[in-house]
Amino acid sequence: MIENQYGIPAIGFGTYDRKGEAGIEAMLVALDTGYRHLDTAQDYGTEGEVGQAVRRSRIPRENVFVTTKIATGNLGPGKLIPSLKRSLDNLQLDRLDLTLIHWPSPNDEVPLTVYMEQMAEAHALGLTRLVGVSNFTIALLQAAQQVLGPIPIANNQFELNPLLQNKKLATYCTNSGISVTCYLPIARGLLGKVPAMIEIADRHGATPEQVALAFELAKGYIAIPTSGKPDRIRSNFEATKLALTEDDMAAIETVDRGQRVIDPVWGPAWD
């Protein structure tokens, strides 16, 4: 399994919508397939399922990388650490591998310093091995790093796939030692309608989703696709074995349309 400089496995399994017994079953298929990284969030309501899947898989805890994200309602003074302890209870874990701020506080309702200082404290308390952010712009990353001081922002998770390559932000992160996690890495199945993606996929005997994931991994990013279907969970993982040529990579670069799916009105001013 490829890991980055922080020991984060390059392919993870997203758990948005993977609730209940069906969700646990999907996670067990993922773990059985070889995924060693599960991505959850306080807002997904899947932390309990992630904890159960890790235990039921019998894979040693230290071999599965677990990420959660702090919900916007838990950013205020004195709220973040108790919420993270509740997440650990839900997950039945002693420590997260990575904790992210899910979204910057809408309209700066809670000042960034307030929640980033609490993240530094969570790190000092050993509640999380790594700290990071999600949906942060370059300006917000710079402000967050100022508050964290010597603790690195290990990761920024944002929407990235061939239709939204987010090159300015991704390049900034890579050059600053911040690993990139792509959410919506397979654009929720939209890539099967993109001729260039179909052409490359056909040439490799692969799917457009595998081509997208192989592209992201070749860029050095982390990708966290999800599916409720065992065959798709397995075929997405097979992308780790797909080697694209330089010409393929160049052709995928041209597919970028800046097509953003997750774009709430209260979101940040994107780069």
Ligand X SMILES: NC(=O)c1ccc[n+]([C@@H]2O[C@H](COP(=O)([O-])OP(=O)(O)OC[C@H]3O[C@@H](n4cnc5c(N)ncnc54)[C@H](OP(=O)(O)O)[C@@H]3O)[C@@H](O)[C@H]2O)c1
Binds ligand X by CB under 6 A, chosen from 22, 125, 139, 262: 262
* The residue to which tokens 């609730």 are assigned: 19
Scanning 48-56, 165-173, 214-222, 228-236 for contacts with ligand X by CB under 6 A, the matching segment is: 228-236
**Which is the catalytic residue, given 6, 16, 35, 44?**
44
Q: Does the footprint of ligand X cover residue 185 (CB under 6 A)?
A: yes
Query: Smaller CB distance to ligand X: residue 122 or 212?
Result: 212
Rounded to whole angstroms, what are the CA distances from 32 to 1, 48, 81, 125, 256? 14, 19, 33, 32, 33
The C-alpha atoms of residue 223 and residue 213 are separated, in whole angstroms, by 7
Q: Does the footprint of ligand X cover residue 39 (CB under 6 A)?
A: yes
Q: In whole angstroms, how close is the CB of 242 to ligand X at the nearest point?
A: 13
Residue 108, C-beta contacts closer than 8 angstroms, at least 6 positions apart = none
Scanning 79-87, 88-96, 166-174, 180-188 for contacts with ligand X by CB under 6 A, the matching segment is: 180-188
The C-alpha atoms of residue 223 and residue 191 are separated, in whole angstroms, by 15
Catalytic (active site) residue 221: no
Q: Does the footprint of ligand X cover residue 49 (CB under 6 A)?
A: no
- CA 176-42-77 angle, to 5 degrees, is 75
Question: What does the per-residue mask of binding to ligand X show for 150-169, with x meaning CB under 6 A?
Answer: -------x------------
Collapsed DSSP state (helix, strand, coil) of residue 101 = strand
Binds ligand X by CB under 6 A, chosen from 226, 242, 251, 252: 226
Binds ligand X by CB under 6 A, chosen from 31, 140, 187, 222: 187
The C-alpha atoms of residue 175 and residue 56 are separated, in whole angstroms, by 39
CA 77 from chain centre, in angstroms, equals 26
First to last CA, the chain: 32
Binds ligand X by CB under 6 A, chosen from 9, 10, 11, 14: 14
Interface ranges with ligand X (CB under 6 A): 14-16, 39, 102, 134-135, 157, 183-189, 207, 209, 224-229, 232, 235-236, 262
Active-site amino acid positions: 44
